[in-house]
Every structure is written in structure tokens, then in C-alpha cells.
């Protein structure tokens, strides 16, 4: 797993955004970078919506 993604998960747990074990497990099992183009994968843990094609975006992790 990407270290920046795991760091983000820990931050979200610490600030009370991620609360349930099921959601935390889902975040770890299906990381955001899987939905991004190669050009955007490095930004997967950045708090901003990112394009996923066809004019759609994947939501910001914190937003």
C-alpha cells in the first residue's frame, strides 16, 4: 500500500472523520489511486477532487 495513502487514513482516523472499522477497512482495500490515470496517481492522497474521465471526478478524501 502507498505510504501517503496509509498516512492519510491515519490522519482521518485521528481527526474523527473515519470512525468505523468497515469504512477504514474499505479505504485500505480500495485505495483512491486505483481510479486515477497514471498522471494523477501521485496526487491520490491530496485533498482535492481528481479527474477519472468522462468529465467526472473522484471526491477529495477529506471533503
Q: Which residues are catalytic?
A: 59
- Residue 50: strand pairing partners: 58
pLDDT of 2 reads 75
Chain-centre distance for alpha carbon 55? 19
CB 50 within 8 A of CB 36: yes
Please tell me whether the overall predicted TM-score, pTM, comes out greater than 0.85 for this model. no
Question: Averaged in consecutive runs of 10 residues, what is the pLDDT profile of the chain (63 residues)?
Answer: 86 92 94 92 91 92 72
Amino acid at each position: 500500500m502507498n505510504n501517503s495513502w496509509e498516512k492519510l487514513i491515519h490522519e482521518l482516523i485521528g481527526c474523527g472523520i473515519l470512525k468505523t472499522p468497515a469504512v477504514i477497512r474499505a479505504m485500505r482495500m480500495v485505495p483512491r489511486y486505483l481510479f486515477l490515470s497514471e498522471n494523477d496517481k501521485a496526487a491520490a492522497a491530496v485533498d482535492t477532487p481528481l479527474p477519472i474521465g468522462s468529465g467526472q471526478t473522484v471526491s477529495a478524501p477529506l471533503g
